[in-house]
Amino acid sequence: MTQRRRAWLALLPAIAAVGGLSAYALADTIAESLGRTGATGAPVSLDAYRHVMAGQGFWRAALFSLWVAAAGTAVSAAGAVAVAWAWTRHPGRPRRVRLWILQLNVTIPHVVWAVALLATFSQSGSIARVAHAVGLIDRPDQFPVVVTDRHGIGIIAHLVTKELPFLVLLVLPVAGASVASLSRAAAGLGASPWQQLRLVFLPAITPALAPGAAVAFAFALGSYEPAAVLGVRSPRTLAVIALERFRDPDLAVRAEAMAMSVLLAATTMAVTAAGWLLARAAARRRATRSRRSALAARVALAGPAGSAAPTAPVAPARSPTLAPPLLARWFARAATATVTATGLAVLVVPLATITVSAVSIRWFFPELVPSEWTLTGVRDVLGGADTLAALRTGLVISLTVTVLAMVLAWPAARRLADSAFAGRAASFAVLFLPSVLPAVGLAIGIDVLALRTGLAGHLPAVIVAHLVPSLPYAIAVLAATFSRFDVRLEQQACTLGATRWQAWRAVTVRAVAPGLVVAALFTFLVSWSQYLLTLLVGSGDVTTLTMLVFTEASGGNATRLGTIAVLDALPAALLLAAATPFLRRQLEQPSPAERAR
């Protein structure tokens, strides 16, 4: 009873911050969608829903949104599994460059990345200019439409390039050396690579991958920046339409925006719930299977010890693993090099494009290299009081949010990692509420609360608002990390005479450090790249650098946009640089549990 109460006590702060605020926002969105706005005081009605559903193009937009989100998430998840699997099969392989490709990509705020992709892949972008320079095309319209296309390829490309690295980074801490050694053990027992992937690797990473993919899907469905920058007028995603309706000065249209938000939220919640049920069913199947394979393993291991046991099934499986044919090895190496080079190009070319635009002016098609270089953008931005103030404000907000999120997420994640905890599913559902709510509805709801309490326009209100979307990320990463942390190690340390403080510091913190670093990084990034929440809750008094990028993106001065975008990508990249060696060491070294063995 006390233990149960303690468990809930550990979860309460996080649930209050995340669940309380987002539940309020959701309730307010629903109320507004039913016509209950303070400004008009109209009676409850379902008119907004009727209008929305009967509206021309609603179902087309809904299908388009689902297609973009599903394709983006599926490709990201499959790619993440492939990358993580390849790395764990070759321990010690995650080299600095490859980790950097993934991580640097994650650190780039969404609006910056979307702007960079557009500058690179548009019909007069940097790739088209290369095509012109080598004589492949004469005019921009001969270059294929790969962004702002009608099939959502540009948006999907954005989602994949952002979400794939995110999922790999989520999976890597749990797919560490211990999983690799388990895989090797399975190989030793005769498991084929496919069996190793299916029976050892996938089950090990699912606790991190499943919630990660759910969050990625919800993000994709409710995301605004990539669809706004890389999409077309028609078809559009529901999130873009909802925001446009909300920005319509007509109050009746605003109610329709709220109705769309509610429908969007219902969809993401339904899909997440379905995914949850599927994951649970898979977990149950896995449990049965692992009992069976454990039995098989015991039988196999008993073999050499027992006198008459057959050794034949083990031996043939070993030889291909230990000595793959030369050609196959060469192929594998070539494939790895190609993937690394592609990853590098996908990352470097867009960043190089916006960096060059930051120091040039009148850089128009078909110029591959600018003819007019300038430092006015850099001088204006670094010398501008408002840009420096925005940089400072952003840092104060995001660093505070990160520390607060770690403090709140730690106890919550520990409880949630314990599969025996009865309130696990319910708590997860509440904590992940903001991740499955469309960003617009969430922002409006929180803003109204902030205005009512008189906190709007103040830094603490913005910080609390940022916690709502970022805390679930922190909890997801930490819970995944804790799920492979053996609590008994803590107890052992205590038995051996350590105080609880010593046990916590020397055993727990060290064991979960990689996850903690990743969680802190993600929290910082989610907060750093927030636009809507800062704008609304900040009442225009709180300006961050990411907000300036948005303003510049609609402003059209490529020099200034490039400069501010590069500056906006810097702090997170620098934090990452500080964290990388540590991360890499953790990924390459055996976990404390393995060292203890």
Partner 1 sequence: MRRRIAPLLAAGLLALGACGSSSGASSTAAGPPDLANWASVTKAAKGQTVNWYLWGGSDSINSFVDQTYGPMLSAGYGVTLHRVGVADTVDAVNQVLAEKKAGKATGAVDLIWINGENFKTLKQAGMLLDGWARKLPNAKYVNWDNRAVNTDFGTPVGDLESPWSSAQFQFVYDTARMESSELPRSYAALSAWACAHPGRFTYIAPGPGAFQGTRFVKGALYELSGGPARWQAYDRAAWDTWSPKLWAYLQQLAPCLWRKGETYPKDENELHKLFANNEIDFTITQAAVGPGALIDAGQVPKTAKAFVFDANSIGDFNYVAVPSNAPHKAAALVLANLLLEPASQAKQIVPSNGFGLGYAVDVAKVTEPSQRKLLDDAAGALGPAATPSADLAKALVGDAAAEYQDLVEKGWAEHVAGSA
Strand runs (DSSP E) across 110-222, as ranges?
none
Binding test (CB under 8 A) with partner 1, winner from 378, 451, 494, 506: 451
Q: Which of 206-214, 287-295, 470-478, 533-541 is the region at the interface with partner 1 (rule: CB under 8 A)?
A: 533-541
Span from 77-85, 139-147, 181-189, 518-526 in contact with partner 1 (CB under 8 A)? 139-147
Q: Alpha-carbon distance 589 to 224, whole Å?
A: 39
Q: What are phi and psi of 360, to 5 degrees?
A: -135, 165
CA distance linking residue 467 with residue 21, whole number of Å:
10
Contact letters (x/-) for partner 1, 542-581, by CB under 8 A? --------xxx-xxxxxxx---------------------
Q: How many residues does the chain have?
A: 597
**Which one of residues 50, 93, 96, 150 is an interface residue with partner 1 (CB under 8 A)?**
150
Q: Does 124 bind partner 1 (CB under 8 A)?
A: yes
CA distance 443 to 438: 9
Rounded to 5°, the CA angle 196-205-482 comes to: 135
Shortest separation between residue 234's beta carbon and partner 1, angstroms = 5
State the number of binding residues for partner 1 (CB under 8 A).
70
Are the C-beta atoms of residues 221 and 66 closer than 8 Å to each other?
Answer: yes
Q: In the complex, what is the shortest distance from the CB of residue 147 to partner 1, in angstroms, rounded to a whole number?
A: 11
Q: Two tokens at 211?
A: 């919630």
Chosen residue from 4, 95, 141, 289 binding partner 1 by CB under 8 A: 141
Write out the binding residues for partner 1, residues 79-108 only, by CB under 8 A: none
**Least distance to partner 1 from the beta carbon of 262, Å?**
18
Question: With left for phi above 0 and alpha for psi between -120 and 50, is residue 497 left, alpha or beta?
Answer: left
Give the amino acid at 535: L
- Measured CA to CA, the distance from residue 204 to residue 353 in angstroms comes to 39
String marking each residue 315-354 x if it binds partner 1 according to CB under 8 A: ----------------------------------------
Q: Mask 9-48, x = binds partner 1 (CB under 8 A)? A: -x--x-----------------------xxx---------
Cα(119)–Cα(127) distance, rounded to whole angstroms? 9
Q: Which residues contact 398 (CB under 8 A, 6 or more apart)?
A: 466, 524, 527, 528
Residue 549 to residues 113, 387, 542, 544, Cα–Cα distance (Å): 11, 10, 14, 9
Asked if residue 595 binds partner 1 (CB under 8 A), the reply is no
User: DSSP 3-state assignment of 373?
Assistant: strand
Query: Which listed residue (244, 336, 418, 593) binds partner 1 by CB under 8 A?
Result: 244
For partner 1, what does the binding mask look like between residues 473 and 512, x meaning CB under 8 A? --------------------------xxx--x--------
* Closest among 520, 515, 533, 529 to 110, alpha carbons compared: 529
Select from 73, 400, 527, 546 the one that contacts partner 1 (CB under 8 A).
400
Does 248 engage in binding with partner 1 (CB under 8 A)?
yes
- Residues in contact with partner 1 by the rule CB under 8 A: 10, 13, 37-39, 56-57, 123-124, 139-141, 145, 148, 150, 232-234, 244, 246-251, 361-362, 364-366, 372, 380, 396, 400, 403-404, 407-408, 410-411, 447-448, 451-452, 454, 456-460, 463, 499-501, 504, 535-536, 539-541, 550-552, 554-560
